[in-house]
Every structure is written in C-alpha cells, then in structure tokens.
C-alpha cells in the first residue's frame, strides 16, 4: 500500500560498547565532558572525536535465576524484560531531582571510560538547562566533589554550547557572535538572545513544551482516534512517528482547509503498520470448495423459500384481518349506538374514524404487498361458493362452518379481483403518465428537468429531516424526546382512556388488571407511527421516498446532460461521509493486518504546531512566535537586526521538516519589512552541544570558568562563577 511504513522493532545490542584505553588520559588531566540530557546521556574525553551515548536511565533489578541484584543502565535495561518497569531517570520533566539515579549513571560513565583510580582526576564540564534551580546545581556539585573528588567543575547551558560549536572563532580570538538561540530539548524549549558572544539571560525565556510532551500528545490523539487498537502503543513508538512522519507547515489553518478535500487528505496520510500475527488458514481442495459453494447455494435457496412463505403467510393474515374488519364495519348498521360503541371498545377502537383508518391502512398495505409479489395471473373464472347464498336456517352445523369458510374465500377472491383491476388501471394510468411526460420533455426539456430537480431536492430534504428527527429521538434531552414523554403523560392522564393509576383502598396499584388499561400503549404507537417518529418500526414512507427518488434520478441521468452521478443522493451522502472515511478508514472484520494500522493524517502537522500554539494541547503558555516577539521587543532596532540575522536552531526536535519556514512566517510579520531574517540550523543538532563543550574545554578560558575543589571546600556547593555560557551572571 502506498505511504505505508512498518514500525521498526527495537533490538538491543548484543555486545557492550568497548571503551577506549584509559592509559592515554592517565594523569594528563584531560577534561571530561558530560552532556546530561533528559533523554540521552553523552559522555567522553574532550579529545575524543565523538562521545559515547546511551539512554539516560537506570534500573535496579534482581535476576530471577541467580537471585542477584543488577544495576542496569541505558540500553542494558531492554535486555531484561522485567527491568523495564523499574527504569528511572535523573530528571523529572526538565528539573534534575533524582540524584541517586544520577550517581548510578555517573558510575557507569566513569567505569565505561576505564577510569580505575580512586578519584576522578579530570576537570569536568557538565551541561544543564536554562534557568536550572540553584539547589539542583548545588546538589550536583556536592556529588561531584564529595564522591568523585573532581579537581574542578563547570556548568554550561547546552544550547549556548551548540551555538559556540557552529560559530567558533579562530584560535586565540574571542567569541563575539550574535544570534537568537532556539534550543529544542526533551521537556522544554528555550529562546536565548546572544550579543557579542554573551548570552543575555535576563531576557531569555523557556516554554514548558518539548519532544516528550509532543510525543505524549501524539499518543493521546492516536488513542482517541483508535480506542480499540489491538496492541499497546508506547511513547517510544510515538516518538519514532514524531521524528519520521511529522512536520511543520507555514500556515496550519490553511492546510486544514485544504485537507477538507477527502482526496487530498488521503494523499497526505502516512500509514504505520504495527507487527501482527496473521491467522493460519487451512488450504482447501477444489472438491471441498465446490461442496462449500453448493452448501451455501442450498442454504440461500432455503432462505428464499422461507422468506417467500413468510411473506405469503403475512399476506394471508392481513387479508383475513381485513375481512374481519369489513365484517365488523357491516355490523354498524344493524346495532344501536350504545352496543356499537361497546363493541368498538372491545375491539380496541375509540370511534368509527379509527376503524375506518385501520381498514384503509390495511387495504393500502395489501395493495403494496401484492404489487411487490407481482400477483401471478389466476384463472378468470369465478370459483364456486354454493353455500354462500343459502340461508343459515336451511343449513346444519357443519354446513354453517363451511359457509363461513366459503364466505372468507369468496371475499379473498373478490379482493384479488379488485387488486387485479386496480393494477390494470394503474398500468394504464402509468402508460398515460409516461406519454404525457414524454410530450412535456420534448416540448420543454429545461422546464421538465427543472421540475424533476425540485422534486429531487424536496425528497432529499424530507429524508434528511426524517433522519434528523430519528437522531433527536435517541437523545432523551432533545425537544422531540421530551415532546414524546409529554404525549405519553397526557395519554396516561386522558379521561377517555385508561387512568394513570388505579388503586384499591389499601393503596395497591391495579393498573393493568383491566384489558382496557393496555390500550394506552396502542395509542402511543399509533400516534408516533402516523407522525413518523417511531424509530423502532421500519418506515414504509421512507422506503417509498427512496424509491421515488431513485426513479427521478434515473430519469434525469437518462435525459438531462447537466445531471451527473455527482448530483445523485447516493453520491452526495457518500461525499459527506468521505472525509470521515478518509480520516479513519474502515477495515472489514477479520482483517488483522488492517486493524493493526494507524493512519496519520492531520496529526502529522497538528502535533508540531503545538510548539507555536501550546493551547491546542491544553498548555496555558505562550508559543514560540509570541515568546520571540516578547524578547525582541526589549532590544533596540539595531540589536534586533543583529539577533534575527542569525536565528540558530539546535536540539533533536529542530530536525523536523518545515521548522525554518514556519518560524519565518511567525517572525516576519513582527519585524520591519526591510529587516533581513536568517534562520540557520546546527550542523548536528543532537551532538553539537557536546562537541562545543569539548572544543571550549580545550581553550585557556575554560581554566577560569570552573569551580575548583579548594573553592568548593572554602565556599560550599553554592559557589558559582560568571561566564558567557553559564546560567548565572555573578558570584555568590
């Protein structure tokens, strides 16, 4: 299938990464670089070309077979299925809180680097987030100095070091680059202005939205779209979807308007195929397949015979009911008014009009049923009914029974003869109508087509209103449902019908003891059938309307060249549901492969758009565009031009396609037309922060920015130094 992508299956490394020899760095004081990310930990010596990387998580797990406690780090957690539930990270969102996990992670990094001395005799440069709380830095300093006895420790903002890596000055020259740094992290996004190589942190901003929140938001959208998905969807899987299939768009509202076209929506989607186990199907021989086909054919024939028999039985019952009602109506002229009213009440009718309406409805139903059955021609000679004209006094008991039977048979035969004549009359009338319509069409084709189109529109409106009425009745709070309950209450309190409640003197409810009490339900049913509100019973009017609509549309398709299939009721109804079908495709029952697919359509752009509109995901904070506008408003026009002339993007989420275009569309309206905008992306958004830290640690300036162990012992863990890449602007 086009645009189908298979979800990758993660396989943990079979062999651990081999560390480099420590002898090269022993007693050399090579700086040790640690990029402490919320998702990934990167570490290594400053002279290394690339760092070691691994998921920044640890898990304490007891192996079942040996009952030995294990401490697993990074990818090692995935080697033990039971350890995944015990995984912990040093970070809580974007704040460093779990220092025992940080200690375990640092133990792993130092051991992995081959450091075999009692203390870590290397200056350390560690990254941190913008606006890191002072107590988090103090606890980290205490851990590094007290446990590992590092000679010096310096902290830096990762986004600034990535900027430094991509704008490094020549050796011996000061760092004086200008720009606006946008650092996309796991749990936050930072905007830091830089002038003359110094971060203006008093004007920097951080929004609480990052890759982890975007991935969780995508997971929620998928869970809402596929509530019954057969397999569990994890945040790692949605993170893969976010990185590989989501992108920014320069104008999100305009994109949504374009995607209202089902064809464009279908073309833009990405289908993610999850792993599935195909059901095992047994191969059948041709002989077995032939037997199955023959069995199905025989079952279909039996079902058709049963349906035909059922229709004939219903038709015979309706004819008998009609004959009984006709005989009842004949008694009206022979009885007095009181006896006739009592007889009507016993039969369940309120008055003569109700009886006549029922007879009329039965005759119409019989007429329609005979028309559908196609009434097979019967012999025209009248059957013999010899006992019908003989007086009852001249007959014995058996002959009287036979006479009643013959009267029913005669009435049925006469009814069929009347139906035959009515059918012949309808055929003649239909032929005359077709002739008249043909003449009218030839005389004025436009007027004829206009008239039929008006009839089609009226029928479609009628069908639409009926469906809307049915939907309203299913909602107990709707006006139609409340009106129905009001009618029920009125009928229950009607003096002419059954009283609402009948009670004996002792308070016992006697409703239902009299057969007349149950006539209230017949009244309710008849009321809603006549007004077309009985949603439980099939509506014959709806079938007639659909049949008439199809006849009109067939005529228009045959004779009106301007009327096409796209104007038919079926196409318009399908077109209205096509957008929903494109958004959430339907798969047949038993299609295991189809039911393990996720169709990403609008979600591909909706999730990245939350960086600029966090309110879409329920986050009460400003988006990137508003934050940048607020920051630029604090600078002069000249400084503003220096900042927007180098908008720098870093961090793994900055690799999403379309970010530069989307950012340009947000920044351009808030700047003067003549002010140029330049948006650049880090050469390696994921590794440039570590590489910038490594490059800076090899300069002379690095020796002056770290807190030494002696300063720590004298001033405590709160001791910090001011420098351009740090979070703080002065010493305490």
pLDDT tens across 58-84, in order? 888 887 777 788 888 888 887 777 777
Question: Is residue 172 over pLDDT 60?
Answer: yes
Read off the pLDDT band of 491 (50, 70, 90).
low
- C-alpha dihedral (682, 688, 693, 695), degrees to nearest 10: -90
Q: Give me the residue spans of the domains in the chain.
A: 22-175+684-715, 212-278+564-610, 290-350
Question: Is residue 617 over pLDDT 90?
Answer: yes
How far, in Å, CA of 659 to CA of 596, rounded? Answer: 31
Question: Is residue 536 over pLDDT 90?
Answer: no
Read off the pLDDT band of 203 (50, 70, 90).
very high
Of residues 549 and 180, more confidence is placed in: 180
Phi, psi of 466 (to 5 degrees): -65, -45
Chain center to CA of 595 = 14
What pLDDT does 380 receive? 52
Mean local confidence (pLDDT), 463-480: 74
What pLDDT does 126 receive? 95
Read off the pLDDT band of 494 (50, 70, 90).
low
> pLDDT, tens digit, for every residue of 204-239?
999 999 999 999 999 999 999 998 898 889 888 999
> pLDDT, tens digit, for every residue of 663-700?
999 999 999 999 999 999 999 999 999 999 999 999 99
Of residues 259 and 536, more confidence is placed in: 259
Q: Is 574 helix (H, G, I), strand (E, B) or coil?
A: helix
Of residues 120 and 418, more confidence is placed in: 120
Determine what percent of the chain falls in helix, strand and coil, rounding each to the nearest 5. Answer: 55, 10, 35
How far, in Å, CA of 652 to CA of 196, rounded? Answer: 26
Nearest to 316 by CA among 407, 401, 412: 412
Nearest to 74 by CA among 28, 10, 124: 10
Return the CATH fold of 212-278+564-610.
Answer: Actin; Chain A, domain 4 (3.90.640)
Question: Is residue 499 over pLDDT 50?
Answer: no
Q: Beta-carbon neighbour count of residue 627 at 10 Å? A: 20
Question: Is residue 423 over pLDDT 50?
Answer: yes
What pLDDT does 699 receive? 92
Residue 97 · residue 126 · CB < 8 Å = no
Mean local confidence (pLDDT), 157-183: 92
Mean local confidence (pLDDT), 549-576: 80
Whole-model pTM above 0.95? no
How far, in Å, CA of 219 to CA of 203, rounded? Answer: 34
How far, in Å, CA of 165 to CA of 683, rounded? Answer: 9
Token couple for 49: 């070309």
Question: Is residue 319 over pLDDT 80?
Answer: yes
Q: Which helix (H) or strand (E) holds 242?
A: helix 235-245
Question: Quick one: CA dihedral 711, 712, 715, 718, positive or negative?
Answer: positive
Of residues 12 and 311, more confidence is placed in: 311
What pLDDT does 377 receive? 46
Of residues 366 and 100, more confidence is placed in: 100
Nearest to 190 by CA among 177, 175, 204, 170: 204
Class of domain 22-175+684-715: alpha beta
What percent of the chain lies above the pLDDT cut of 70? 86
Q: Is 554 helix (H, G, I), strand (E, B) or coil?
A: helix
How far, in Å, CA of 725 to CA of 197, rounded? Answer: 9
What pLDDT does 224 receive? 92
Q: Is 132 helix (H, G, I), strand (E, B) or coil?
A: coil
Question: Is residue 15 over pLDDT 50?
Answer: no
What pLDDT does 502 receive? 45
How far, in Å, CA of 35 to CA of 41, rounded? Answer: 6
What pLDDT does 598 receive? 93
Residue 86 · residue 58 · CB < 8 Å = no
Long-range contacts of 363-371 (CB under 8 A, 24+ apart): 363/322, 365/318, 365/540, 366/315, 366/318, 366/319, 366/322, 366/415, 366/419, 367/419, 367/422, 368/540, 369/311, 369/314, 369/315, 369/318, 370/315, 370/416, 370/419, 370/423, 371/423
What pLDDT does 437 receive? 84
- Partnered with residue 36 across adjacent β-strands are 41
Q: Give the 3-state DSSP-derived string for 60-124, with helices as H, strands as E and coil as C.
A: EEECCCCCCEEEEEHHHHHHCHHHHHHEECCEECCEECCHHHHHHHHHHHHHHCCCCCCCCCCCE
What pLDDT does 526 receive? 45
Q: Is 171 helix (H, G, I), strand (E, B) or coil?
A: coil
Q: Give the 3-state DSSP-derived string for 353-392, with helices as H, strands as E and coil as C.
A: HHHHHHHHHHHHHHHHHHHHHCCCCCCCCCCCCCCCCCCH
Q: Among 112-121, 440-449, 582-591, where is mean pLDDT lowest?
A: 582-591
Q: Beta-carbon neighbour count of residue 149 at 10 Å? A: 13
Mean pLDDT of the chain: 83
What pLDDT does 339 receive? 83
Question: Is residue 55 over pLDDT 70?
Answer: yes
Mean local confidence (pLDDT), 115-130: 92
What pLDDT does 42 receive? 95
What pLDDT does 310 receive? 81
> pLDDT, tens digit, for every residue of 441-460?
888 888 888 888 898 899 88
Read off the pLDDT band of 13 (50, 70, 90).
low
């Amino acid at each position: 299938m086009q645009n189908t992508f298979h979800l990758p299956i993660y396989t943990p490394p079979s062999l651990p990464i081999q560390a480099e020899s420590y002898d090269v760095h022993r007693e050399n004081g090579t700086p040790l670089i640690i990029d402490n990310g919320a998702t990934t930990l990167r570490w290594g010596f400053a002279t290394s070309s690339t760092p070691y990387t691994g998921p920044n998580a640890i898990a304490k797990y007891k192996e079942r077979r040996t009952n030995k406690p294990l401490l697993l780090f990074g990818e090692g957690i995935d080697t033990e299925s039971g350890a995944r539930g015990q995984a912990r990270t040093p970070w809580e969102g974007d704040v460093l809180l779990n220092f025992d996990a940080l200690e375990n992670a640092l133990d792993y990094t130092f051991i992995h680097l081959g450091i075999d001395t009692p203390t870590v005799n290397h200056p350390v440069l560690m990254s941190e987030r913008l606006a890191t709380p002072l107590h988090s830095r103090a606890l980290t300093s205490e851990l590094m100095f007290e446990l590992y006895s590092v000679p010096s420790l310096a902290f830096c903002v990762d986004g600034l070091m990535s900027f430094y890596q991509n704008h490094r000055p020549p050796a011996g020259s000061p760092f004086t680059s200008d720009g606006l740094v946008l650092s996309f992290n796991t749990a936050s996004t930072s905007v830091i202005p830089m002038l003359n190589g110094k971060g203006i942190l008093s004007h920097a901003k951080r929004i609480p939205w990052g890759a982890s929140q975007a991935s969780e938001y995508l997971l929620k959208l998928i869970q809402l779209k596929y509530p019954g998905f057969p397999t569990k969807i994890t945040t790692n899987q949605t993170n893969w979807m976010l990185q590989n299939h989501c992108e920014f768009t320069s104008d999100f509202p305009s994109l949504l308007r374009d995607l209202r076209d089902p064809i464009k929506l279908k073309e833009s989607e990405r289908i993610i195929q999850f792993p599935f186990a195909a059901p095992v199907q047994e191969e059948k021989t041709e002989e077995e397949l032939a037997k199955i086909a023959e069995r199905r054919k025989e079952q279909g024939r039996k079902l058709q015979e049963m349906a035909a028999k059922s229709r004939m039985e219903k038709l015979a019952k309706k004819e008998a009911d009609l004959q009984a009602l006709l005989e009842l109506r004949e008694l009206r002229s022979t009885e007095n008014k009181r006896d006739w009213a009592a007889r009507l009440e016993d039969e369940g009718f309120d008055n003569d009009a109700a009886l006549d309406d029922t007879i009329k409805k039965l005759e119409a139903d019989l007429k329609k049923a005979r028309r559908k059955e196609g009434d097979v021609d019967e012999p025209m000679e009248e059957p013999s009914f010899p006992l019908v004209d003989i007086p009852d006094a001249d007959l014995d008991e058996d002959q009287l029974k036979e006479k009643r039977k013959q009267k029913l048979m005669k009435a049925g035969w006469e009814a069929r003869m009347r139906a035959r004549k009515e059918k012949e009359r309808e055929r003649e009338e239909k032929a005359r109508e077709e002739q008249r319509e043909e003449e009218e069409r030839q005389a004025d084709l436009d007027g004829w087509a206009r008239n039929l189109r008006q009839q089609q529109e009226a029928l479609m409106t009628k069908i639409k209103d009926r469906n809307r009425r049915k939907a309203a009745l299913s909602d107990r709070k709707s006006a139609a449902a409340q009106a129905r309950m009001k009618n029920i209450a009125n009928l229950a309190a009607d003096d002419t019908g059954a009283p609402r409640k009948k009670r004996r003197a002792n308070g016992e409810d006697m409703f239902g003891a009299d057969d007349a009490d149950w006539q209230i339900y017949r009244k309710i049913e008849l009321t809603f059938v006549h007004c077309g509100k009985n949603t439980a019973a099939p509506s014959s009017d709806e079938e007639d309307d659909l049949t008439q609509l199809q006849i009109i549309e067939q005529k228009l398709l045959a004779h009106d060249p301007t009327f096409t299939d796209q104007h038919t009721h079926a196409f318009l109804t399908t077109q209205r549901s096509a957008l929903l079908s494109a958004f959430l495709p339907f798969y047949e029952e038993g299609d295991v492969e189809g039911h393990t697919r996720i169709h990403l359509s609008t979600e591909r752009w909706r999730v990245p758009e939350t960086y600029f509109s966090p309110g879409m995901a329920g986050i009460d904070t400003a988006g990137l565009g508003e934050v940048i506008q607020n920051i630029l408003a604090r600078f002069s026009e000249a400084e503003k031009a220096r900042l927007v002339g180098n908008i720098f993007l870093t961090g793994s989420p900055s690799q999403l396609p379309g970010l530069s275009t989307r950012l340009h569309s947000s920044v351009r309206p808030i700047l003067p037309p003549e002010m140029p905008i330049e948006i650049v992306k880090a050469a390696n958004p994921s590794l440039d922060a570590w590489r910038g830290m490594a490059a800076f640690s090899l300069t002379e300036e690095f020796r002056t920015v770290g807190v030494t162990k002696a300063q720590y012992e004298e001033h405590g863990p709160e001791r910090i130094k001011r420098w351009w890449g740090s979070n703080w602007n002065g010493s305490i």
